[in-house]
Amino acid sequence: MRSVLFLLLAMISSASLAGEASRLVQTARSDYVTKLGTELALKGHIPQANFDCVASIPLTTYTSSISAFLGSKLKSEEIAVALAFYESPAGTKYTQHGIVQFYKLKSIPTEMTSPSIGESEMQQILAFSRTSAGAKMINRDFSREMALAAKAAEDKELRACGYKGAL
């Protein structure tokens, strides 16, 4: 009886962690940025039919695969810390600033503007970056790993829509 109860609690805990990881991916916009990065890397470099296939991949494909990655790389406490940051006004501005900078880096016009980040918000961003969750989430290598985690699901979607060529 105890083993069944333990298994049930473990399953509930795992489902809760997966839900929180998914919420983190959506709040930090990791799914959006990964999809955008894929589209921008390929636009103009592959036939239009293939690009249409890439553009048709649902955002949820990225959300689920990156959520699984975060759930395997972050402890539940780290997910909670990251959620608290990304759901805060400072975290929201940090995320929007990052997306605007991404557009600028790729020389793509956007109607999105970089938000004004005050001294207090900058202190909150720095404080988050010093946490174990922040150190991971802000790290470029970790971001690359997130994108690679989405690649298998992305490739499956591409094959399903008839993408022609190497994946």
Query: Quick check: pTM over 0.85?
Result: no
Query: Which pLDDT score, from 0 to 100, does residue 166 have?
Result: 77
Q: Residue ranges per domain, the chain?
A: 19-160
CB 156, CB 58: distance < 8 Å? no
CB 71, CB 17: distance < 8 Å? yes
Residue with tokens 């509930």: 12
Q: Please tell me what DSSP assigns to residue 67.
A: H
Q: Which helix or strand (DSSP H or E) is residue 47 part of?
A: none
Give pLDDT tens digits along the chain (167 positions).
Answer: 555 434 333 333 445 667 899 999 999 999 999 999 899 888 888 999 999 999 999 999 999 999 999 999 999 999 999 999 999 999 999 999 999 998 888 888 888 899 999 999 999 999 999 999 999 999 999 999 999 999 989 999 999 988 887 76
Structure token digits, residue 146: 């997130």
- With b for 16 or more beta-carbon neighbours within 10 A and e for fewer, the 137-158 pattern comes to beeeeebeebbebbeebbeebb
